[in-house]
Every structure is written in C-alpha cells, then in structure tokens.
Structure 1
Amino acid sequence: MPFADEFNPDGVVVVSYQESWARQGADLISELRALVPDAIAFEHIGSTSIPGMAAKPCLDLMIIVDDLDASSAEQNLSRAGYRRRPEPWNNSESADGREWPKMVFAPPIDGRNCNIHVRPADAGTTRRALLFRDYLIANPDKVALWSDFKRAVAAAQPDLAGYGQIKSPAWTLLMECAERWAAESHS
C-alpha cells in the first residue's frame, strides 16, 4: 500500500502514455547506478517503459543484482531516502512454480513517483518483468488492448488493491501469450 505522502484521493488513475517517461526513467537509472554500484543491470520496466501504453504515472525501475542479501541496494537506497515497501507482495513473488525474493522501494518524500524493484538475476520474476515489456514493445497492437483494459479496470475499481486483484488474472493470460511469443521468437 502507498505511504501516506503517496495517497491519491482519486484512487487509481491511468493516463495516456507520456513521451517524458523514457527520459525520466533514464535519469532515475543514472541516479540508481551511483547508489548501487554492485548491481548487474538497471532496467525501466512496467507500463511506463512501453511506448503508447496507458499507465499509472509511476515509473517502475528494476535493479538486477547477483545476490539480494549481499547487495548494497537496501542500505544505499535507504540512506538516499528511498523507503522499502513492507507488504508481503513487495518482498516475494511467484514465477516458474516457486517463490522469488525481491525488495521494492518507494521514492523519497517529494521524489518522482516510482517503484524501485530489486530482484536477483536468476529469479524467474526478473525474466518475466523484462518479457512483459519486450513482448508489448514488439506487439504494439496488444498495447492498445491492454491500455483500454487498464482504463476500464481503473474506472470500475479505483481502489489500488481492487484494481490489482481484477487485473491479475488478465495479466496471467497476457504473460501466457508473451511466453508463447518468446518461445516462437527464440526457437
């Protein structure tokens, strides 16, 4: 759930794609590189990374590390004012039939609205976050459909938890399509 300073009385708001998201993502990644020098990679993920995709105006960035426990990410991000999200779903997630650890950080107070996901390189969820982005970039016809779906869900269920619950089964189906696309594209 959001921290108090992130509360939006209007609930979930999905907006049209903003060209500025790519630049904002690149700028934040530059800041994160300085904060987490032991990371393997930094990626702009989620809907704001996909040209033409409607999204909540919150950038999702991913820091990929060798070992979640040994990484400097938690200490350095916290020192810079990022706040670790405590909810269970922000500390582990399922993929490939198992649970994978992760950390998610909210921005510093008054910082750019973002979620910083820290995931191990070998996690199935790391691969799936990249697959979601790459599949939709490669299939722009699906971008409009997913955008329309998200707008409809936000209008019907502006509560963040409810929005996520409704979107989850459709995301699972979308990812099945993405997995087939990946298998066909890389075979």
Structure 2
Amino acid sequence: MYDQPCVALVDFSAVPFPDELERKLEVLEYQPQWPADFDRIAELLRGALGPAAVRIDHVGSTSVPGLPAKDCIDIQVIVPVLDEDELVAALGTIGFRCRPESWNRDDTYDGTPYAKLVFAPPVGGRSCNIHVRAVGTPNARRMLLFRDFLRANETVRDAWGAFKTRLSESVPDLFGYGQIKQPATVVLFEAAELWARTTYWTPGEGI
C-alpha cells in the first residue's frame, strides 16, 4: 500500500499552552542526553497506558544522532484504536494535556486525513510532544521513515540540520518557523519514500 509517496501538507508545529510560552524557539546542536530523556518519558507513558501502548518510539529530530533540533522530545505511541476519551483520561493521570488545534488532530496525505492526537507535557514538565496514532495507518509509518532515513543518510541529515538552524535564526516564532519549514519537509519525505523503496525499508512490528 506504500508504493507511492504519501505527501502531507500540514503544519508540524504545536501551539504551546500558556505555561510553554516562555520557551523560546532555538535549534540546538544534537544533545547526547536526548535518548535518555526519551526513555524517562516513555516509562511514564507505559505506566499510564499499559497494554494499550502497542509500541512507543523516539521520533522527530531529537531521535537522529548528529541532527540539530529544538529541545523538544517527540514520541510516537501506537495504539490499537484511537479512542480520544480513553487516551485523554489515561494520559491525564500523569498530567499530559491533549493539544486542541485542528492540525494536531490529523495528518493529510493526498487529500485523505488520518487521525492522530498530540499531547503536551504536564505543567512544568520536560518539553515534549506525544503523538498518538493507530496501528496500520500511513501517518504512523511516516514518523519512523523520517527518523530512519535521516539516520541512514549523513549528507541529507547535515543539510536538513543546517536549514533548520538558519531558519530558526531568521524566524524567531514557532508558528512562522513551522509554516516555512513545511514545504521543505514535503520534499524530504518524497526523498525518504524513494529511499524506502530502493532499500526495502520496513518500520518493523506494531506499525
């Protein structure tokens, strides 16, 4: 079902809650502690979700060694069914908050929306975004493809990191940063899909 590229024209930025507004937009050099930060948050999520979490992965730029990124840990949680009431209740027990914006509710590929939910950290918690998607959806697969493509292609990784660093220096607000980065992200995913076909990449079990 993935022979053709799935192109998403979406804004990848999360709109911060009031307590998150003090965090300025800044792209940092890769930080070696990011994987450990992921592990700590993932442990909390596993405790709250139990067997409902089919798979929990470190995704996004902080999951790619050597890639500059905003100091925000992106985590993807795969669930059997995207039941908003159950997820909000379960993650609410550890303080995570569901982001309400429309672009945090679905990813659109070739005109077809695929549902998701995005959760913010507890008030005062470590900056992160928890992306929850259902098993078997193209948007769940795409997050792992992005990560693995950049991990495997140093030249692309370095170019993408340099682009994001320059952009963050020119556009200081998160919304503008996301809007400008969006078209480049679409091109990146086209390249990632080609790489996936030529290398026979698969996301593994639970996707």
After TM superposition, the score normalised by the length of structure 2 is 0.86
- For residues 5-154 of structure 1, what are the structure 2 equivalents within 5 Å? 5-8=19-22, 10=24, 12-37=25-50, 38-69=52-83, 72-95=86-109, 97-154=111-168
Deviation of residue 102 (structure 1)? 0.7
Per-residue deviation, residues 132-161 of structure 1 (Å, max 9, x unmatched): 001001112211111100011111111111
Deviation of residue 74 (structure 1)? 2.1
SS in 1 for 2:81: coil
SS in 1 for 2:16: coil
Percentage of identical aligned residues: 43
SS in 2 for 1:105: strand
Letter in 2 for 1:169: P
After TM superposition, the score normalised by the length of structure 1 is 0.95
Deviation of residue 9 (structure 1)? 6.3
Between the two proteins, the alignment pairs up a number of residues equal to 186
2:175 paired with 1:161: yes
Q: Identify if the C-alpha distance between structure 1 residues 116 and 9 changes in structure 2 by more than 3 Å, giving closer, same or farther.
A: closer
Large movers: runs of 4+ above 4 Å = none
SS in 1 for 2:114: strand
Q: Identify if the C-alpha distance between structure 1 residues 71 and 84 changes in structure 2 by more than 3 Å, giving closer, same or farther.
A: closer
**Contact 2:88/2:97 (8 A) holds in 1:** no
Measured in 1, the distance between the counterparts of 2:178 and 2:22 equals 16
For structure 1, the 5+ residue unaligned runs are none
Measured in 1, the distance between the counterparts of 2:149 and 2:97 equals 30
